[in-house]
């Protein structure tokens, strides 16, 4: 595709439910990142994938958060037993190895009620 695509664009879920957020990176981009953006805040790093391995998971805030990636393609971020503090925009970015620019998706706005 032309850019990084994320789905759904909006998700409202009840506290305690699990959610899955999807990211389709730009074709050929082996580096993939997930970030969280709380209202009025900067982007917090969550996890980095190189291919389908995750050498840096240091930003995942708790064991309720996990992510996986299939090959050099789609990634899913799963949040189990959602809490109200998980409400945020979750952004995915991808980058071609050897280049510096990271391209962002439009994000998934998650609201936990």
Contacting positions for another protein (CB under 8 A): 4, 31, 33, 35, 40-45, 48, 50, 55-56, 91, 93, 95, 97-107
Sign of the dihedral through C-alpha 69, 38, 8, 62:
positive
d(CA 95, CA 25): 8
Block residue for tokens 């050099």: 72
Q: Which is nearer to another protein, 18 or 85 (CB)?
A: 85
C-alpha distances (whole Å) from 28 to each of 20, 50, 62 are: 23, 12, 30
Q: Which is nearer to another protein, 74 or 102 (CB)?
A: 102
Closest distance between another protein and the C-beta of residue 103, in Å?
A: 8
Closest distance between another protein and the C-beta of residue 53, in Å?
A: 12
DSSP 77: E
Closest distance between another protein and the C-beta of residue 39, in Å?
A: 11
């Amino acid at each position: 595709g032309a850019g990084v695509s994320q789905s759904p664009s909006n998700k409202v879920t009840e506290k305690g439910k699990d959610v899955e957020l999807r990211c389709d990176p730009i074709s050929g981009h082996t580096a993939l990142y997930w970030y969280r953006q709380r209202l009025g805040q900067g982007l917090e790093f969550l996890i980095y994938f190189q291919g389908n391995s995750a050498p840096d998971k240091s930003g995942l805030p708790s064991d309720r958060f996990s992510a996986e990636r299939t090959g050099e393609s789609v990634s899913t971020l799963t949040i189990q037993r959602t809490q109200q503090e998980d409400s945020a925009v979750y952004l995915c970015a991808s980058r071609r190895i050897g280049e510096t620019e990271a391209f962002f998706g439009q994000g998934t706005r998650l609201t936990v009620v």
